[in-house]
Amino acid sequence: MTRLAVPKTYKLFIGGKFPRSESGRTTTVSSPAGEFLANVAQASRKDARDAVVAARAAVAGWSGATAYNRGQVLYRIAEMLEGRAEQFVTEIIQATGVKPVDARAEVASAIDCLVWYAGWTDKFAQVHGGANPVAGPFFNLSVPEPTGVVALVAPSGNGTSLLGLVASIAPALTTGNAVVVLASESAPCPAMTFAEVLATSDVPGGAINILTGSVAEVTPWLASHADVNAIDLTGAERELAVECERSAAETLMRVIRPGTFGATECAVDRIAAFVETKTVWHTKSLS
């Protein structure tokens, strides 16, 4: 008996749940050979706003967690990703047409990336902060704090459908930011399967929100949103990035321009891009 395949429709991932797009729109995703893979939700302006609201609500709890706990959560995501590695390998091959060996390398690198950033959660403050020499009977300490809500445009292209997404999200999460990320427009399926991993992990609802659809349509709304504190335009085309940077200037939003970091780069500087430095003064005891 021949059974029919069950076509999949991926929804958005907002606030730890999987809502349909408010607009009701979906778009078809095909393989490089033109074969149907799935339908994915096409996010609207309202969806982007809902994702920012969910991220803002999650900032206090996620940033308030201990650095050690955040590291445990990131490590747990890596564990669960490894448990579904073959599924991701299959989806990457279907979505991008790469060879199995390259797909497996991408999944392995995504897992390693999460573990690497998990290790930095309780160490970054020692590297980026510190005690400052001052004249007088005072302690002067520099302490890194999360920026808040970070919008991200994940890169597109072979080798980035999963790894580029993880390499964008993880550094922002490390210090307690909440994120709204636009998945690869050309290969969004691995990103939404990654959302299924997040939904069953220890990540608080709203700390990570994943949107699919038109990057050119949704990114400007995130760039002009007054409650977004930083935007990483790594995956945006140059003309779109310039437009978004102008919009971001209206709210003094921090902007990471395309090319600042490699699409799949793991780096301490990438963590530092999403922190503010608080300076604390305290008198020394005179006794």
Pairing mode, strands 130-131 and 138-146: antiparallel
- Predicted pLDDT at 134: 84
Residue from 182, 156, 157, 159 nearest 169 by CA: 182
Q: Are 209 and 216 in contact (CB under 8 A)?
A: no
How deeply is 211 buried, as exposed, middle or buried, from its count of CB atoms within 10 A (0-12, 13-18, 19+)?
buried
Stated pTM of the model = 0.93
Helix, coil or strand: residue 229: coil
Report the topology of domain 10-24+37-283: Aldehyde Dehydrogenase; Chain A, domain 1 (3.40.605)
Query: Which DSSP string do the residues of 187-212 spell out, in sequence order?
Result: S-HHHHHHHHHHHTSSPPTTSEEEE-
> How far is Cα 285 from Cα 138, in angstroms, rounded to an integer?
9
- Predicted pLDDT at 286: 57
Beta-sheet strand order (sheet of 254-256): 208-211, 178-182, 149-153, 230-232, 254-256
pLDDT tens digits, the chain, 287 residues: what are they?
Answer: 788 878 889 999 999 999 999 999 999 999 999 999 999 999 999 999 999 999 999 999 999 999 999 999 999 999 999 999 999 999 999 999 999 999 999 999 999 999 999 999 999 998 888 778 888 888 888 889 999 999 999 998 778 899 999 999 999 999 999 999 999 999 999 999 999 999 999 999 999 999 999 999 999 999 999 999 999 999 999 999 999 999 999 998 999 999 999 999 999 999 999 999 888 888 887 55
Which single residue is written with the structure tokens 């349909």?
A: 20
- Predicted pLDDT at 175: 96
- Predicted pLDDT at 287: 56
